[in-house]
Amino acid sequence: MKRFWVTWGERYLYRPSFVQKILSWLLLPLSGLYCLIAYLRYRRTTPKTFPIPIVSVGNLTVGGSGKTPVVIELAKRFEKSAIVLRGYGRRSRGMVVVKDKATILCDVVQSGDEAMLYAHSLSNTTVIVSEIRERGIAEAASMGCEVVFLDDGYGKHSIQKLDLVIDVATPNRFCLPSGPYREKLWSGKKAVHLREGETFSRRVTIIDPTEKMVLVTAIARPERLDPFLSDVIEKVYFEDHHFFTQGELEGILERTGATSLLVTQKDLVKIAPFNLSVSVMDLSLELDEALISLVKDYVHAAQN
């Protein structure tokens, strides 16, 4: 039942049916109130400067936008970088250092899937999860990091930073609850827009493909994977950040007769301990050189 409502909600926000559009219009007064509160919160906040440059990669809407691979590609280009994120879906609270420069210090249950993906993908980057991002930033600075990449930080208006915002295409331009927007790009708020096909491009290859693969994934808006999929015998979607059990995955393999589970790298960090037959959608990202130069210039200027 939960899976049904997650799918229904994603369709409502991004590809609404006629009935869902009517519901969206009926909720517009609430959306107007929501937007007003978000705007007033922005206007009443004064950004605080930290002793370390901060670059935020995020989006204005709920749901996935592909920010994780963008953060990974940018963090690779700095020797003493840190990534700070909330750690959605983790079963821990407070600030947790997931990885120092060399060592992973906790498991995926404590870190959450995105943080663990960062930890496995980046050999020289510190990874910290914290509901209070300021605490994570301060910890990164105390650990000797020289730049922080803030995962999903556009709405953290109290933090002085460079905002990179990934544009997500949607015909629904309303704020919650009528549409997917958590915030708008407020007047006076500077941000660099990233667009797939312009600022970055993706290439996906399948590692260890088998003859009969079943797609199993727990990411937001899983239809984003469709352009990169090879033939699969079925698609099984779970809610974003879902922690799989070995039994449910074995059940999917048995029910479908699949020879392997096709998963994303984000899913893999939760599935790997089960020792099941797995094929992986390996994503590589190419960033525009102008974006890389812009980020490096910002970081170097803030350090001087």
The answer to whether domain 54-195+288-303 and domain 202-285 are alike in fold is yes
The model's pLDDT over 220-240, given as tens digits with 9 standing for 90+, comes to 888 888 888 878 999 999 988
Structure tokens at 222: 């899983």
pLDDT score recorded for residue 223: 86
What CA–CA distances, in Å, run from 14 to 68, 224, 249, 251, 259?
Answer: 20, 12, 28, 31, 33
Measure the CA–CA gap between 172 and 108, rounded to whole angstroms: 34
- Asked whether 164 and 55 are in contact (CB, 8 A), the reply is yes
Amino acid at 179: G
Q: Flag whether pLDDT at 2 surpasses 70.
A: no
The pLDDT score that the predictor gives to residue 66 is 82
pTM of the model: 0.93
Q: What are phi and psi of 20, to 5 degrees?
A: -65, -35
Residue 94 has pLDDT above 70, yes or no: yes
Q: What is the pLDDT of residues 266-303, one digit of tens each?
A: 999 999 999 999 999 998 889 999 999 999 999 999 98
Query: How far is it, in rounded angstroms, from Cα 183 to Cα 170?
Result: 15
- How confident is the prediction for the chain on average, in pLDDT? 93
**Does residue 1 surpass a pLDDT of 70?**
no
Report the topology of domain 54-195+288-303: Rossmann fold (3.40.50)
Report domain extents, the chain: 54-195+288-303, 202-285
- Percent share of the chain, pLDDT over 70: 99
Dihedral Cα 121, 69, 156, 289, nearest 10 deg:
110
> Ramachandran region of residue 41, left (φ > 0), alpha (ψ -120 to 50) or beta?
alpha
The CATH label, of 3.40.50, 3.40.1400, 3.30.70, 3.40.1350, for the domain at 202-285 is 3.40.50
Q: How far apart are CA 141 and CA 21, in angstroms?
A: 47
pLDDT tens, position by position, 100-138: 988 999 999 999 999 999 999 999 999 999 999 999 999
What average pLDDT does this structure show over 43-48?
Answer: 94
Nearest-Å Rg of the Cα atoms of the chain is 20
Q: Cα-flanking dihedrals φ and ψ of residue 32, to 5°?
A: -60, -40
Of 39, 70, 46, nearest to 288 (Cα)?
70
Tokens found for residue 136: 């994570």
